[in-house]
Structure 1
Amino acid sequence: MMNQPNAQAKKGILLFVLLLGSFLSILNQTILNVALPDLMKEFEVSASTIQWLSTGFMLVNGILVPVTAFLMKRFTTRQLFICSMFLLLVGTFINAIAPSFALLLTGRLIQAAGAGIIMPLLMMVVLVVFPEENRGTAMGMIGLAMIFAPAIGPTLAGFVIEYFSWRWLFIGMFPLVVIVIALAFKYLVNVSDTSKPKLDMIGIILSTVGFGGLLYGFSTAGDKGWGSAEVLTFLVGGVIFLILFIWRQLASNDPLLNLRVFMNKMFTMATLINSLVTMVMYADMILLPIYLQSSRGYTVLETGLLLLPGALLNAVMSPISGRLFDKFGAKPLALVGLIFNIAAIWGVTHLSETTSYSYLMIRTIILRIGMSLLTMPITTAGLNSLSKQLNAHGSAVTNTVRQVAGAIGTSLVVTIMTTSTKNHAETLIHSGNILSKTQLIKESTILGINDAYFFTAILGILAFLVTIFMPKKNAATKTIAEKQHDTIPAEGR
């Protein structure tokens, strides 16, 4: 029988390899954000088109994650992880050599296919390997990947783009992914039982068309208008296909994605809060670089350095928030975190041409403190409330909703910014003020960004209101105990 120190060591190396892979996956997701203004010029595309490098990545994640519940039953932890890292490797290689926007987007989508598998897999491993009373600490370590990677990405990207070129973001990533694959071959073991479930191809098609239609509708509304026949067709079509997908999953005895997890109040509320918080986080990661570089003339490196203190604080706070969750539960941490978030977002709803660099740095630090107290505690609380049999589905649902919320949120804020910028430009033209074309674009863009941030603040307030009604730790723990009791056969009690 394995002794305790040896078991802990095996847990440690398993979590380390998975965390490293997850860190690189999420880093890839957001590392291009600060480079978007430069890429718009290089490939001669609009803001609505270039944002597909971010939203397309999240959409593929959102489409693929539902399948991971099936994949985690069908394949071993080792097989899935190594396969996902190979996809990440191939996508990274294509991005490094991409001569056109189309090929760069293709590489991003292949990267996303690999990244989509990793986060649900990592969460499922934690739920299997760690006892409930220690999961907060383990999930806090996952927070390093989920929050620190997107936070540190702009700083790394800023440094690389300032002294080399954006291609080196992927050239530098390539050997790191190779190292993770080598570590996985040597140290990764399987932690769950495999079976041969049937793959629901119709369910996959319905979810793909549903999520894809919604995202495309949101992302094109900025250019074509909310009343456009094309926009309305994709939005309505997306909703219809998603309803059909939900109906099929609820009617199935072996669903692709077990949506019955939403019958659990704690899980449902945690997922809703997580979705709103994710939209806030990704909105800020898109809007702030556009403001700093397009409207204020800061370099990519200066943008990255502004975000660095908040990123470093994230690295310190994530494990601490995990321990605080184990002690106090999710609700008090979430309420405090959301107060920080709402204050930080409200602080950038009135940006101007004179907003100081130091002010923006301090508000970003406040935002990152809030995110550290929110993301993993809320996720862990939701997953802890489910029975063991629903772990894989709970993890898949959590990550699906998170990715789709991030993708739709990003598209929505860019659309709001684009539409609002056009309206403000027309107002400024008719105001009688004589402005140069450059000044007109700059002022109208800043006003459009302010409107997009105002919408983001509303999302934060909604998340706060939902959190107020979240069950306390004792109530949640009681629910978990009841769930576990219900899964034990009568003769075994």
Structure 2
Amino acid sequence: MGRGPTGRGRRRAPLEARGGRVRVFRAPQRPLRVRFFLAVVASAVFVSVLTGAMVNVMLPVIRAEFGASAAQIGWVVTGFSLAFAVSVPLYGRVSDLYGVRRVFVFGIVGFAAGGLLCALAPSLPLLVAGRMLQATGGAAIPALATVAVAKVIPPGARGGALGLVSSSIGAASAVGPIVGGVLGQAFGWRALFVGSLSLALLLIPFALRALPSDRARGAQRLDLLGGVLFGLGAGLFLFGITQGQTAGFATFPAWGSFLGAALAWLGFFRRLHRAAAPFVAPTLFANRAYVAALAVGFGAMFASFSALVFVPLLLVEENGLSPAAAGLALTPGAAALALLSPLSGRLSDRVGVRRPIVAGLALMGASLLLLSAVAGGPPLWVVLGVMGVYVGFAFVQSPVNNAAAGALAKRDVGAGVGLFSGVYFLGAGSGPAAMGALLAARQEAAGLAVNPLYRFGAAPFSDTFLGVVVVLVGALVASAWLRERPTAGA
């Protein structure tokens, strides 16, 4: 009696009025529902990362089947990366308008459709097209995983939840190459796409039940051109680095791509101040704590993915290990990332984000200095160095996501976290490409190592790891502007 039309024991969903529209937000409140929500989100991220890790180990087999050159087979990875870079910034803002649940499920469907095309592809171009479709849909999964956590979990408990999502990335990275090698050899590389397609389809009904049903009512405006300009700039920038690494930075594809990226980003920033409803609020770039999180996230991903690529290459080329043995050298670090990410996330909830991030960046830098000093030396020291990079990254990844979300007002979470995810991925893509170009230049020059402590015979690798340290120093400086606690209303 007196409870109104909602009925006995039911709670009305909170209403939020913003800019001529009312947002209805329903989030899981009971602990069991929250755990179910986190399990679904982490599982989706796991499947998306697992697919890439499985497919990469089968690239030599795919190349042999299609009779492709090294440059042609590289488009299986490059095409995915470019489509992902263009798509990932869009989803955060789109979810503000159409709801996290709807857009997240749309992304899973696109990822599954791309997997189906890959499994049936009769030629390499169609396989690349399938991977690009996978990337276009799959970009929604990591981007909206963070957005969903930021909207569902209160600021004081967000770090642990983000850590759980991050741990799924480490777990998938650790088991992906092993699962891909075993299943690929037993059933063929197409079976890998069938498996990931099946897992993605299984996730859809759980995502429909678990994710928040926030939706906007009333006027809905999306500056799609602004979002595309930012994504296009990221894609052209990565393509320019890739072309510079393979054909030289003086070639037209390289410098033309950099010019196109600069023009696209210039257009993006012009629209921030001229569009009636810009893709992201211009005030985001005046938010020092948020910009610092962008810089730290970019630098940390730049460093971790550079180590992920160049440590196995070092062990194969300089130490004479097999590719399988070199891949196993990364397993302890990936396992540590999976185990420590939830711990670092909870730690950032308790003590603030800056201290775990500074400690993690310092450990990553020290470990890369160790790699610079022992490159080409005893493999055990190299394994210890890359494990230190992973452990350090575990104490950066969850807290910096927490820092980015915590620096945003509630109305900016979707667009701001989406933009952060785009910059984060840009660091992952540009690190290996830029450092690969440095490695090639140093191998051609055949000079002595810059590091005065270096005593072995792989000077180009030593200088490459030292170059990564320079980027980490910039991230460490930027961490001084991080906000320890979430902003009011985050």
- When normalised by structure 1's length, the TM-score is 0.83
RMSD of the alignment, in Å?
3.1
| 1:196 Cα deviation after fit | 5.1
Distance 2:394 2:352 in 1: 14
Whether contact under 8 Å (2:368, 2:468) holds in the other structure is yes
- Cα distance, 1:56 vs. partner? 3.4
Is 1:246 equivalent to 2:269 in the alignment?
A: yes
Distance in 1, matches of 2:40 and 2:97, equals 21
Structure 2 residue identity aligned to 1:453: F
1:13 to 32, 36, 51: 36
Range with bigger deviation, 167-176 or 37-46: 37-46
Supply the AA of the counterpart residue of 1:266: A
Contact 1:58 1:406 in 2 (8 A): no
Q: Name the residue aligned to 1:122.
A: 145
Shift in Å, 1:91: 1.9
Deviation at 1:26, TM superposition (A): 2.5
**Are residue 391 (structure 1) and residue 402 (structure 2) matched?**
no
Matched, 1:412 2:434: yes
Is 1:459 paired with 2:471?
A: yes
- The aligned length equals 460
1:58 positional shift: 3.2
Q: Matches of 2:218 and 2:310 in 1, distance apart?
A: 45
Note the C-alpha offset of 1:345. Answer: 1.9
Deviation at 1:457? 2.2
**Contact 2:162–2:398, Cα closer than 8 Å, also in 1:** yes
Q: CA deviation at 1:235?
A: 1.1
User: What is the rounded CA distance, in whole Å, between the counterparts of 1:412 and 1:458 in structure 2?
Assistant: 13
Task: Report the Cα distance in structure 2 between the residues aligned to 1:96 and 1:173, rounded to whole angstroms.
Answer: 10
Query: Which residue of 1 is the match for residue 481 of structure 2?
Result: 470
User: Residues 202 and 312 from structure 1, CA distance in 2 versus in 1: closer, same or farther, beyond 3 angstroms?
Assistant: closer
User: What's the counterpart of residue 367 of structure 1?
Assistant: 389
175-184 or 268-277, larger mean C-alpha shift: 175-184
- TM-score of the pair, normalised by structure 2: 0.83
Equivalent position of 2:333 in the other structure = 310
CA contact (8 A) 2:289 2:483 kept: no
Unpaired runs of 5+ residues, structure 2, are 1-8, 12-26, 449-455
Match of 1:431 in 2: none
Contact 2:159 2:402 in 1 (8 A): yes
Q: How does 1:270-285 map to 2 (within 5 A)?
A: 270-285=293-308
Cα shift at 1:243: 0.9
- Letter of the 1:311 partner, please give it: A
Task: Give a deviation string over 1:58-90, Cα, whole Å, max 9, x none.
Answer: 332221123213421332333222221111112
Q: 1:191 to 1:371 in 2, by over 3 A?
A: same
Q: Is the 8 A contact 2:107 2:137 kept in 1?
A: yes
**Does the residue aligned with 1:347 lie in a helix, a strand or coil?**
helix
Q: 1:94 aligns with which of 103, 114, 117?
A: 117
Q: Distance in 2 between matches of 1:297 and 1:312?
A: 24
More divergent stretch after superposition (29-38 vs 317-326): 29-38
Would the aligned equivalents of 2:290 and 2:482 in 1 still touch at CA under 8 Å? no
Distance 1:256 1:41 in 2: 44
Q: What's the % identity of the aligned pairs?
A: 24
Which segment is superposed worse, 305-314 or 90-99?
90-99
Q: Which residue of 2 aligns with 1:434?
A: none
Relative to structure 1, is the Cα distance of residues 172 and 292 closer, same or farther in structure 2, using a 3 angstrom cutoff? Answer: farther
| Distance change in 2, residues 1:6/1:205 (3 Å) | closer
Higher helix share: 1
Gapped regions of structure 1 (runs ≥ 5): 429-442, 485-493
1:20-78 per-residue CA deviation (whole Å, 9 max, x = no partner) reads 11221233344444455666666666666655444433332221123213421332333
Contact 1:17 1:183 in 2 (8 A): yes
CA spacing shift, 1:121–1:316, aligned 2, 3 Å? same
Name the amino acid aligned to 1:20: S
> Cα distance 1:151–1:341, how it changes in 2: closer, same or farther (>3 A)?
farther
Structure 2 CA distance for aligned equivalents of residues 46 and 407 of structure 1: 22
Alignment check: 8 A CA contact 1:31 1:154 kept: yes
Aligned equivalent of 2:4:
none
